Amino acid sequence: MIVPEGILCSKSHEYLLEDGNSVYTVGLTDYAVEQLGDIVFVELPETGSEFSKGEVFATVESVKAASEIYMPVGGKIIEVNEKIVESPEILNESPFEEGWLVKIESPDAQAESGDLLEYSDYKEEIE
């Protein structure tokens, strides 16, 4: 698995990846999907809806349990990954590429991402 350069990770295991022009991709880290096990259900927000940092914006369910997913920074949902709604197993197979959750527009991301960790530090933190 290739970990995209420059991703920032939250302690609740979401990642944030800058696409440019205040647009960011949000997903779940490889560690998160590994811990969840077989993912069988994903509920994503509607495009256009807005969430602040730390707010629940999606739900991911594995065979065992339902998990709430939190916004790593505040922003507006501009695109959701419909493919993972149809085939949730993509999240397990490719968390950083095919299995992203949403794209957000977040003008305040820079200011709000202070508590997010670089991938290497995140890895250290969870070990």
Stretch that binds other proteins, among 3-11, 58-66, 75-83, 97-105 (CB under 8 A): 58-66
Spatial CA neighbour of 18 closest among 85, 90, 91, 116: 116
19/38 with CB nearer other proteins? 38
CB of 91 to other proteins, least distance (A): 13
CB of 59 to other proteins, least distance (A): 7
In the structure encoding, which two tokens stand for residue 107, read together? 């003008």
38/115 with CB nearer other proteins? 38
In the structure encoding, which two tokens stand for residue 35, read together? 């811990």
Q: Long-range CB contacts (< 8 A, 24+ apart) of 51-60?
A: 51/75, 51/77, 53/112, 57/102, 58/101, 58/102, 60/28, 60/36, 60/88, 60/91
Residue 61 interacts with other proteins (CB under 8 A): yes or no = yes
In the structure encoding, which two tokens stand for residue 127, read together? 């070990």
Residue 55 interacts with other proteins (CB under 8 A): yes or no = no
6/37 with CB nearer other proteins? 37
Contacting residues toward other proteins, per CB under 8 A? 37-38, 40-41, 43, 59, 61-66
